[in-house]
């Protein structure tokens, strides 16, 4: 959404909308960052600075929180997010090989984003579908009972569907 | 009147339940049959998802492993034709079906309504006695009587530490303050566990009811549910449930005419394991970095916003409505001398029937893994069961008769934990498992206290060296020394329990450590630095499958000729071995 906003000069509209309800309660910092990240895809520097001005919370404090929690990103991400589960159940059934296969398929390292900005690959602690291990998600889709081969196929299939949809 | 119900917990959705639901909805609409299609939460049988139930006049027939084709068959034959598709029936309320063994020894208190109701319908929940315990508490009991009832029931905290809930409530009730808080810990940090998620997804009202009763008991008018960010479905269903409860007057002002007010807010976590620790969780709700506080003061005296607060786990709270409704005596009929009630476990790993299991406390590990879970997969030998996640330990196969209760489990070096139960077989390397958990706790260490921050780092480095074949004599002893220092000196439970996975694997699988260190060998052939993949020449028929599937082109060879693996290129991903139909790839 905000990609369009940015191009049409409405970059700050989302920010204003999110801050509209802010009452000065500093315990709202984490929910505010969550909403901002939802809107912008990550937490850009200029957004953090303006957030500090508006709330009176120091930039250092905001950065302290933003870097503490793994959910927050300080770099832009790809259009689609692949999350690979590294929970215990997935680990004992071969999560590492799944990660290898996917990273190789996309030509990036774990945590990286493809050059065309289509995919970011992240690791997560557990997706809560342990009985279907090993598990990954591609955006909202969950894929379970994977092998390195079917994991690779899942990425290819997703790409093919995207190409058709465009 | 027939109804078709599809299991749509996270597992059901992951296994393709949404497609099955859509297919059935289309079929129902086409047939213009008036058959209603609805959904429910996790039935616990994750291994058999997607599941579809046909409900007719109270009679339930549940099908497992349903795909779109099967769905059509079930619709045509059973929903329209009235004839069950016999070979696909998993459970039948008359006692039939192939999967009765999974449920036979379970008792359902916490999961009573999970998988039986539509979690988005408060009427479904009410029809199965949701909020009846609340009504009884508010209309017929004083706050002290509620605390006493919970004390008498003897329910212990299910979040890991096992502290008696009634006592905790008594402490919090004992501090006078103009405002107090009750907090539900739904952070479910153990990677490889999903009890709390399934409860929230399957029956959010049970947790809400427990919180309102707890609020009444300790005198708190505000509640927070701190929920893990990775659980979007649970959070959505909780929101729907809270709105519905407000609309029916179970939440808000003057609840059920009692004069008691209670407001409930959801806080989404942001991905930090340490925030499952209660004081770190409080810091996080206050908008700070989630770093634990020094206790005392305990939260019961000074917690959230410096006010008396009580924190309970999701499953603990889900017991409360039942206890108030049926009474402490009914609850204490389940369990052992020391511990009453049931415990929910998330059974996963190398087990045949993985899923959500609720058992009376006091069963043995073997009964859960072998009888309910159907034992290991693919006839492999059971090696160990991991309980308690990063704070717990690996219990070896020869101790499967250990009783599932707080004290006997602690005696093994593991813990009851929050309910993660991961089955490991002969292929799993125990040194690698220890390294895995240390890597987890080390990266989640908040950095506040030195023993945890630096101690776990040194332990991890040592374990990494061992798994890479660079271990030295004396490493195991160093690990033990560090473990004891960290356990006694770390500030919070994260550090205090982080060495447990290492200590239990050393205690029961010392020979594996020695093989890595002395012989530079991984007995289970898992540690990549210590193995190589090779083609067995008298088995290879030259089918070329491995060469085609190898992601790094490390396999060469012509059709119908013996292939070879270039060790310089091989990344040891194992695809060739898994694809070979002739068992011609060997690991040495
Ligand atoms: C590092 C760490 C992580 C924890 N994670 C959780 C968790 O995810 N869920 C939970 O209920 N309790 C967790 N706990 C335990 C809580 O601190 C607390 O004891 C519990 O929520 C109390 O509820 P209970 O008495 O109902 O069990 C964790 C403790 C530690 C030290
Ligand atoms: S361990 Fe991977 S989903 Fe839980």
* pLDDT on residue A166: 67
Say if CB B348 and CB B423 are below 8 A apart.
Answer: yes
pLDDT tens track for A114-129? 999 999 999 999 988 8
Kindly tell me the number of DSSP H helices and DSSP E strands found in chain B.
23, 18
pLDDT confidence tier of residue A4, bands split at 50, 70 and 90: low
User: Do B2-101 and B342-425 come out as alike in CATH topology?
Assistant: no
pLDDT confidence tier of residue B20, bands split at 50, 70 and 90: very high
* pLDDT on residue B9: 86
pLDDT confidence tier of residue B42, bands split at 50, 70 and 90: confident
* pLDDT on residue B236: 96
Q: Is A74 on the interface with B (CB under 8 A)?
A: no
pLDDT tens track for A62-96? 999 999 999 999 999 999 999 999 999 999 999 99
Residues of chain B with pLDDT > 70: what percent?
100
A135 lines ligand 2 (CB under 6 A): yes
Kindly tell me if the per-residue pLDDT of A1 is higher than 70.
no
In chain A, the residue whose alpha carbon lies closest to the alpha carbon of B14 is: A142
pLDDT confidence tier of residue A137, bands split at 50, 70 and 90: very high
Report which ligand 2 atom has the smallest distance to the Cα of A87: 1
Instruction: Report the residue from B269, B287, B440 with minimal CB separation from A27.
Output: B287
Selected residues 31-70 of chain A with any CB under 8 Å from a CB in chain B = 31, 33-34, 64-65, 68-70
Q: What mean pLDDT do residues B552-565 have?
A: 93
Contact A27 B573 (CB under 8 A): no
Taking the CA of B440 as reference, the closest ligand is 1
Instruction: Report the residue from A27, A65, A128 with minimal CB separation from B194.
Output: A128
pLDDT tens track for B209-260? 999 999 999 999 999 999 998 888 899 999 999 999 999 999 999 999 999 9
The candidate with the shortest Cα–Cα distance to B216, out of B147, B302, B143, is B143
What CATH architecture is B122-331? 3-Layer(aba) Sandwich (3.40)
Cβ neighbours of A139 (radius 10 Å): 11
Residue extents of the structural domains in chain B: 2-101, 122-331, 342-425, 430-518, 532-587
pLDDT tens track for B318-338? 999 999 999 999 999 999 999
- B430-518 CATH fold: de novo design (two linked rop proteins) (1.20.1440)
Instruction: Report the residue from A26, A64, A127 with minimal CB separation from B230.
Output: A127
Choose which residue among B159, B282, B300, B323 to substitute to test ligand 1 binding: the one with the highest number of ligand atoms within 8 A of its C-beta. Answer: B159
* pLDDT on residue B413: 97
Q: How many CB pairs under 8 A join A and B?
A: 153
Helix, strand or coil, per DSSP, at residue B426: coil
Contact B11 A147 (CB under 8 A): no
- Domain B2-101 class in CATH: alpha beta
Say if CB B309 and CB B181 are below 8 A apart.
Answer: yes
What is the residue-averaged pLDDT of chain A?
Answer: 92
In CATH, the number for domain B532-587 is: 3.30.70.20
| CA B276 to ligand 1 centroid distance, Å | 5
Strands B555-556 and B564-565: antiparallel
3 state SS for chain A? CHHHHHHCCCCCHHHHHHHCCCCCCHHHHHHHHHHHHHHHCCCCHHHHHHHHHHHCCCHHHHHHHHHHCCCCCCCCCCCEEEEEECCHHHHHCCHHHHHHHHHHHHCCCCCCECCCCCEEEEEECCCCCHHHCCCEEECCEEECCCCHHHHHHHHHHHHHHHHHHC
Report which ligand 1 atom has the smallest distance to the Cα of B158: 27
In chain B, the residue whose alpha carbon lies closest to the alpha carbon of A138 is: B14
Contact B436 A91 (CB under 8 A): yes
Q: What mean pLDDT do residues B10-36 have?
A: 91
pLDDT tens track for B526-546? 999 999 999 999 999 999 999
**How far is residue B113's CA from residue B549's CA, in Å, rounded to a whole number?**
46
The candidate with the shortest Cα–Cα distance to B161, out of B31, B312, B272, is B312
Kindly tell me if the per-residue pLDDT of A8 is higher than 80.
no
- DSSP H or E stretch at residue B577: helix B575-579
* pLDDT on residue B574: 87
| CA B388 to ligand 2 centroid distance, Å | 15
* pLDDT on residue A7: 65
Say if CB B416 and CB B406 are below 8 A apart.
Answer: yes
| Residue from A57, A86, A126 whose CB has the most chain B CBs within 10 Å, to mutate | A126
pLDDT confidence tier of residue B24, bands split at 50, 70 and 90: very high
Q: What mean pLDDT do residues B382-400 have?
A: 97
Q: What mean pLDDT do residues B93-115 have?
A: 93
* pLDDT on residue B575: 87
pLDDT tens track for A19-59? 998 988 999 999 999 999 999 999 999 999 999 999 999 99
**How far is residue B354's CA from residue B213's CA, in Å, rounded to a whole number?**
33
* pLDDT on residue B32: 87
The candidate with the shortest Cα–Cα distance to B186, out of B109, B241, B144, is B241
**How far is residue B455's CA from residue B476's CA, in Å, rounded to a whole number?**
15
Structure ipTM over 0.85, yes or no: yes
- DSSP H or E stretch at residue B143: helix B143-153
Say if CB B380 and CB B350 are below 8 A apart.
Answer: yes
DSSP designation for B537? T
3 state SS for B79-110? HHCCCCCHHHEEEECCCCCCCHHHHCCCCCCC
Say if CB B557 and CB B522 are below 8 A apart.
Answer: no
The candidate with the shortest Cα–Cα distance to A43, out of A30, A28, A27, A57, is A30
Say if CB B274 and CB B444 are below 8 A apart.
Answer: yes
Q: What mean pLDDT do residues A142-159 have?
A: 93
Query: What contacts A163, CB < 8 A, 6 or more positions away?
Result: none
pLDDT tens track for B147-183? 999 999 999 999 988 999 999 999 999 999 999 999 9
Kindly tell me if the per-residue pLDDT of B61 is higher than 60.
yes
In CATH, the number for domain B342-425 is: 3.10.20.600
Q: What mean pLDDT do residues B487-504 have?
A: 97
């Amino acid at each position: 959404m905000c990609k369009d906003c940015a191009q049409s000069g409405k970059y700050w509209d989302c920010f204003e909308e999110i801050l509209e309800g802010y009452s000065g309660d500093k315990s709202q910092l984490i929910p505010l960052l969550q909403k901002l990240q939802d809107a912008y895809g990550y937490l850009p520097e200029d957004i953090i600075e303006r957030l500090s001005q508006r709330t009176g919370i120091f930039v250092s404090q905001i950065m302290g929180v933003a870097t503490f929690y793994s959910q927050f990103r300080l770099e832009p991400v790809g259009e689609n997010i692949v999350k690979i589960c590294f929970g215990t159940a997935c680990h004992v059934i071969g999560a590492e090989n799944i990660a290898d296969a996917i990273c190789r398929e996309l030509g990036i390292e774990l945590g990286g984003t493809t050059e065309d900005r289509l995919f970011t690959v992240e690791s997560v602690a557990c997706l809560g579908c342990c009985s279907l291990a090993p598990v990954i998600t591609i955006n909202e889709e969950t894929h379970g009972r994977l092998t390195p081969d079917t994991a690779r196929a899942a990425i290819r299939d997703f790409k093919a569907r995207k190409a058709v949809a465009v | 009147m027939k109804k078709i119900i599809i299991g749509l917990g996270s597992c059901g959705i992951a296994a393709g339940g949404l497609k099955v639901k859509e297919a059935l909805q289309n079929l129902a609409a086409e047939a213009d049959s008036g058959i209603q299609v609805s959904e429910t939460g996790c039935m616990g049988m994750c291994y058999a998802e997607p599941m579809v139930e046909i409900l007719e006049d109270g009679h339930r027939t549940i099908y497992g492993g349903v795909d779109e084709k099967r769905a059509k068959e079930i619709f045509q034959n059973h929903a329209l034709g009235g004839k069950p598709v016999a070979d696909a029936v998993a459970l039948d309320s008359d006692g039939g079906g192939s999967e009765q063994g999974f449920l036979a020894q379970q008792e359902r208190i916490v999961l009573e309504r999970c998988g039986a109701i539509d979690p988005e319908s408060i009427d479904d929940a009410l029809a199965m006695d949701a909020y009846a315990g609340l009504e009884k508490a508010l209309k017929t009991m004083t706050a002290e009587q509620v605390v006493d009832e919970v004390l008498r029931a003897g329910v212990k905290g299910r979040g890991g530490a096992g502290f008696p809930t009634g006592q905790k409530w008594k402490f919090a009730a004992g501090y006078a303050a103009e405002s107090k808080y009750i907090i539900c810990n739904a952070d479910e940090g153990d990677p490889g566990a999903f009890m709390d998620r399934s409860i929230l997804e399957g029956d959010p009202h049970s947790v809400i009811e427990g919180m309102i009763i707890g609020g009444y008991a300790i005198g708190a008018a505000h509640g927070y549910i701190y929920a893990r960010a990775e659980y979007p479905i649970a959070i959505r269903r909780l929101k729907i449930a809270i709105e519905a409860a407000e609309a029916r007057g179970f939440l808000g002002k003057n609840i059920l005419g009692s004069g008691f007010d209670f407001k409930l807010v959801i806080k989404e976590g942001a991905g930090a394991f340490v925030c499952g620790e209660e004081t770190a969780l409080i810091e996080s709700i206050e908008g700070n970095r989630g770093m634990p506080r020094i206790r005392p003061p305990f939260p019961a005296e000074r917690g959230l916003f410096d006010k008396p607060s009580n924190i309970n786990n999701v499953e603990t709270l889900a017991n409360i409505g039942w206890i108030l409704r049926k009474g402490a005596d009914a609850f204490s009929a389940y369990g052992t001398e020391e511990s009453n009630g049931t415990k929910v476990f998330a059974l996963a790993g190398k087990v045949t029937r993985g899923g959500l299991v609720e058992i009376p406390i006091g069963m043995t590990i073997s009964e859960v893994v072998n009888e309910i879970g159907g034992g290991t997969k693919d006839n492999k030998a059971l090696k160990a069961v991991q309980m308690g996640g990063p704070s717990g330990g690996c219990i070896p196969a020869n101790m499967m008769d250990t009783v599932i209760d707080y004290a006997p489990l602690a005696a093994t070096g593991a813990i009851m934990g929050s309910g993660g139960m991961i089955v490991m077989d002969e292929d799993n390397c125990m040194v690698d498992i220890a390294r895995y958990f240390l890597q987890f706790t080390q990266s989640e260490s908040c950095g506040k206290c030195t023993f945890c921050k630096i101690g776990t780092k040194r332990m991890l480095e040592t374990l990494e060296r061992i798994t890479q074949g660079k271990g030295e004599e004396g490493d195991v002893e160093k690990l033990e020394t560090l473990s004891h220092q960290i356990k006694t000196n770390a500030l919070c439970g994260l550090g205090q329990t982080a060495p447990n996975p290492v200590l239990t694997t050393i205690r029961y699988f010392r020979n594996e450590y020695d093989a890595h260190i002395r012989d530079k060998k991984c007995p289970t052939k898992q540690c990549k630095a210590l193995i190589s993949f090779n083609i067995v020449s008298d088995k290879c028929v030259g089918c070329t499958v491995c060469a085609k599937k190898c992601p790094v082109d490390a396999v060469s060879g012509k059709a119908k000729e013996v292939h070879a693996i270039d060790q310089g290129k091989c990344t040891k991903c194992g695809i060739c071995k898994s694809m070979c139909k002739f068992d011609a790839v060997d690991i040495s």
